[in-house]
Amino acid sequence: MKVQSSAPDIDSSAPAIPRHVAIIMDGNNRWAKQRGLRGVEGHRQGARAVRATVENCARAGVEVLTVFAFSSENWRRPEEEVNALMSLFLESLTQEVAELHQNGIRLVFIGDLSAFTPELRRKMDDSVRLTSGNQRMTFAVAVNYGGQWDIVNACRQLASQVEQGTLRAEQITPEKLQQFISLGDLPMPDLCIRTGGENRISNFMLWQMAYAELYFTDLYWPDFDQAALDAAFADFSRRQRRFGRTSEQIAASQEE
Write down the pLDDT at residue 11. 44
Decide if 26 is catalytic: yes
Amino acid letter at 3? Answer: V
Q: What is the pTM of this model?
A: 0.88
pLDDT of 207 above 80 = yes
Cα 187 to the chain's mean position, in Å? Answer: 12
Residue 127 sits at φ, ψ, to 5 deg, of -65, -40
pLDDT digits (tens, 9 = 90+) for 54-96: 999 999 999 999 999 988 788 878 877 887 788 888 888 888 9
Residue 144 sits at φ, ψ, to 5 deg, of 45, 50
Contact 130, 96 (CB under 8 A): no
110 dihedral zone (left: phi>0; alpha: psi -120 to 50; beta): beta
Catalytic residue, chosen from 9, 11, 26, 235, is 26
More confident residue, 52 or 1: 52
Catalytic residue, chosen from 74, 134, 153, 203, is 74
Nearest-CA neighbor of 145 among 117, 183, 173? 183
Contact 191, 22 (CB under 8 A): yes
Amino acid letter at 237? Answer: S
Decide if 125 is catalytic: no
CATH, domain range 20-146+188-237: 3.40.1180.10
